[in-house]
Amino acid sequence: MLLVDLDGDSYAAGRRTNRIASRPMVWLIVILAIVALLVVALVVLYNRFVRLRNRVDNAWAQIEVQLKRRWDLIPNLIETVKGYAEHERGTFEAVTQARANAQKATGPAETAAAEGILGQALGRLFAVAEAYPELQADENFRQLQTELGETENRIAVSRQVYNDTVLTYNNAIQTFPGVLVASPFGFAKREFFETDSTQREVPQVDFSPDPPSVAPTAPPAGPGTGGAPGGTS
């Protein structure tokens, strides 16, 4: 009977020892699982930020393509206007200088300011054209104005896409839990490309000839006004 009791006590003591020994293992597994989840979350957030940043860079590249197209059209426009209004040197120089400054600008904020000044200079150039009927009838000038207008529309669309993409990216890195990951890994806030629409708009000057004036017609004579020939007896 004593032997049985000793065996039972040994068995119970062994179970307690096993439970005590297994507790650190359980906690180790829990800690490893938590660490694995954190690593997975970190990788997911990091990859998401990289994709969003790449989209911002791509959207900005599209704006640069349209801005370059605009810059390439300006020299031809100046030469066309110069052929009819060569004495407007001040206007030509202002457009040329504004174009050069726009090409040197870096970053959305600086580029937006430079492009706004360029848009104002182009507005003055188109205003000059209104005083020259021969220039207004020039087919090359009309074509350049149309291409500039189309380019402005493309810039506006690209700017909207870029700003929307920047908004999504900035929200992702400034809200929880992204804010905990963005700064340590170098994900910084991006600038919006904001300009005054009135500065960037190319004036649409109407160069179509005025319709010939038509003299107003007299109203038809009513009955009893003496319009019909005939005597009275």
106-156 confidence digits (pLDDT tens): 999 999 999 999 999 999 999 999 899 999 899 999 999 999 999 999 999
Residue 164 and residue 58: Cα distance in Å, rounded?
13
Whether residue 230 is contained in a domain is answered as no
Two tokens at 139? Answer: 């087919």
Whether residue 158 is contained in a domain is answered as yes
DSSP assignment of 199-232? HHPPP----SPPPPP-PPPPPPPPTTSS-S----
pTM: 0.75
Question: In this structure, what CATH number is given to the domain that contains residue 134?
Answer: 1.20.1440.20
Percentage, residues of the chain above pLDDT 90: 68
Whether residue 118 is contained in a domain is answered as yes
37-65 confidence digits (pLDDT tens): 999 999 999 999 999 999 999 999 999 99
Whether residue 134 is contained in a domain is answered as yes
Domain of residue 175, residue span: 67-200
Q: Can you give the pLDDT at residue 2?
A: 43
Whether residue 98 is contained in a domain is answered as yes
Total domain count for the chain?
A: 1
Nearest 5 degrees, angle CA 187-CA 185-CA 179?
Answer: 65
Cα end-to-end span (Å), the chain: 165
Q: Can you give the pLDDT at residue 211?
A: 44
87 — phi, psi (to 5°)? -75, -5
- Closest C-alpha among 143, 142, 133 to residue 85: 133
Q: Can you give the pLDDT at residue 23?
A: 78
Whether residue 145 is contained in a domain is answered as yes
Where helices occur in the chain by DSSP H, the ranges are 2-82, 89-104, 107-129, 133-136, 139-174, 178-182, 197-200
Whether residue 27 is contained in a domain is answered as no
CA dihedral 60, 203, 100, 137 (to 10 degrees): 120
Percentage, residues of the chain above pLDDT 70: 75
Contact 178, 99 (CB under 8 A): no
Whether residue 221 is contained in a domain is answered as no
